[in-house]
Amino acid sequence: MESMKDTTTGEDIFECVKNALRTMELSWQKMVSVTTDGFPSLTGKNVGLLKRLSDRVAEVDCTRELIFLHCIIHQEVMCKKVLDMKHVVDPVVKVFNLIRARGLNHRQFITLLEDCYSDHSGVPYHTAVRWLSMGKVLRRVWDLKTQILLFLEMKR
């Protein structure tokens, strides 16, 4: 592996990959798939890295095609858009914002958890940027559903 010190065009990245395969004595025949983040110099259909890799693998074995994948975080974001969980996420985020937004509410909720001998010490922040955090948030809501309902009743 090597650091790229200048431009990062599809050709530049392809040369780095070629050098890495040569250095590690890996064969082009063993390449099956490539995972990217969708950056243009990687995915350009005429001169991007994926096109160059696909062409090179086809030179070596014309019966095989590379499989191209988006990285897992991008796949999660795409799933979020397709699933449309707004009816679940919005109320949860609203409750968490009520608890986390004001210091007093947060301290009171932590005290409630301590009084209930909960395994949890609070609620995590949810960020819309990282959908992966939503799984943790929903798990925590499920674990703390009794305490959250009790807290909301106290706040009425």
* Residue of higher predicted confidence among 7 and 74: 7
3-state secondary structure of 142: helix
> What is the pLDDT at residue 129?
43
Same domain, 44 and 92: no
Same domain, 97 and 55: no
User: What is the tens place of the pLDDT at every residue in 51-78?
Assistant: 888 888 888 887 888 887 776 666 666 6
Same domain, 64 and 113: no
Same domain, 57 and 94: no
Residue 152: pLDDT band (50, 70, 90) is very high
Same domain, 96 and 135: yes
Q: Cα–Cα distances in Å, from 133 out to 4, 102, 109, 116, 136?
A: 32, 21, 21, 25, 5
> What is the pLDDT at residue 95?
86
pLDDT at 119 over 60: yes
Question: How many Cα atoms sit within 13 Å of 111 on the Cβ side?
Answer: 8
Query: Is 5 inside a domain boundary?
Result: no
Query: Is 3 inside a domain boundary?
Result: no
pLDDT-above-70 percentage for the chain:
83
pLDDT-above-90 percentage for the chain:
10
Residue 146: pLDDT band (50, 70, 90) is very high
Split into its structural domains, the chain has a count of 2
Q: Cα–Cα distances in Å, from 14 out to 34, 58, 129?
A: 12, 15, 30
Query: Is 81 inside a domain boundary?
Result: yes
Query: Is 14 inside a domain boundary?
Result: yes
Same domain, 92 and 35: no
| Mean pLDDT confidence for 145-149 | 92
Instruction: Give the domain range for residue 92.
Output: 77-155
Same domain, 83 and 148: yes
